[in-house]
Amino acid sequence: MSTNDILDQAFHYIHENFNRFVNEFKDLLRVPSIVGTHGVVECAKMVEEFMTSVGINVEVSSIEHKAPIVFGRLEPGSDGKTLLLYCHYDVYPVSNVHKWINDPFKAETVNGKIIARGTSDSKGNLMALLKAVESLSFALKGRPCCLKFVIGGDEEAGSPSLPQFIEENQGKLSANAAIIFDATLDEDNTPAVNLGREKPTSTEDDIVQAIIKASKTVYGTVPKIYRSVMTYPMYLISKKLGIKSLSTGCGSFNGNTHSINECITIDEFRNGIKYATSAIYFYTLE
């Protein structure tokens, strides 16, 4: 099959199954996984179930008194490149609940927007990754790509469990490149890509070329490329593991991340799944 056949089939699958994807996304949003609360434990279980359901081998690693990190592997046994994907399932605390137009954990759609804490930061990104795996697996009739997943549960508190996890699992985490899929679109609703302030990731690298192709495929334009300060997870993956990394994502630029009425539009969520699908495809299979 050609590139276009595979991506066309994956995109077709996304359209056919999109209502279910939205419902599953809402199930995830309804678990109040506010950082530092018991909700993260419940949410880690749901993330584990979603990952297992799309064929990912999952281990939930827990460091005492810290939020579980959900680690996953998809290894089809081929020699292809391995891509490490990072996201998080904890959400920022909610204040001023009375100012929200809806309960922040009810996840209702209002005027084409899903409103809930965690929609843009970062459960929309997380679901986009998982549904990308499901859609690509369908298009390739099996487990298609070498992928690893690190899904944190305390990112909103500065990822205190991540250094020890990375320290103890260096071998397991080896990969050719990483995408920290935990960001919003740029102000003109096109993807933003951060390569970090310092090298080593350069625009010539295959991971950057893959994300540029993915952006063109889904949003019809090249992404905005930045060299900004790395988030802590990106710093750890890039510097401690030495993996070429970039950060990007499909959250809503106007999504009020960390604020009242956090949201993502239905279209942004759909395009996010396609963006993740294309990025994984172009990096691992082309």
Window contacting Zn ion (CB under 5 A); options: 106-114, 179-187, 193-201, 269-277 = 179-187
Q: How far is the CB of 260 from Zn ion (least distance, A)?
A: 17
Q: How far is the CB of 243 from Zn ion (least distance, A)?
A: 19
Among 82, 120, 122, 194, binds Zn ion (CB under 5 A): 122
Task: Give me the residue whose beta carbon is nearest to Zn ion.
Answer: 122
Kindly tell me which of 172 and 258 has the beta carbon lying closer to Zn ion. Answer: 258
Residue 121 vs 134, nearer CB to Zn ion:
121
DSSP per position, 39-90: HHHHHHHHHHHHHHHTT-EEEEE--TTS--EEEEEE--SS-PPEEEEEEE--
Residues 6+ apart with CB under 8 A from 104: 94, 97, 115, 116, 117, 262
- Which one of the spans 19-27, 63-71, 118-126, 145-153 is the region binding Zn ion (CB under 5 A)? 118-126
User: Candidates 51-59, 177-185, 191-199, 201-209 — which segment interacts with Zn ion by CB under 5 A?
Assistant: 177-185
* Size of residue set near Zn ion by CB under 5 A: 3
Does 154 participate in binding Zn ion (rule CB under 5 A)? no
> Distance (Å, rounded) from C-alpha 94 to C-alpha 43?
17
Q: If binding is defined by CB under 5 A, does position 265 make contact with Zn ion?
A: no
The window from 65-73, 122-130, 169-177, 206-214 that contacts Zn ion (CB under 5 A) reads: 122-130
Q: Both tokens of residue 170?
A: 């260096």
182 binds Zn ion, rule: CB under 5 A: yes
**Per DSSP, which regions of the chain are E strands?**
57-61, 69-74, 82-88, 108-110, 113-115, 146-152, 177-181, 192-194, 224-226, 245-248, 263-265
Tell me the closest approach of the beta carbon of residue 251 to Zn ion, in angstroms: 8
23 burial via Cβ count (<10 Å: 0-12, 13-18, 19+) = exposed
Are the CB atoms for 201 and 207 separated by under 8 Å? yes
User: What residues make contact with Zn ion under the rule CB under 5 A?
Assistant: 121-122, 182
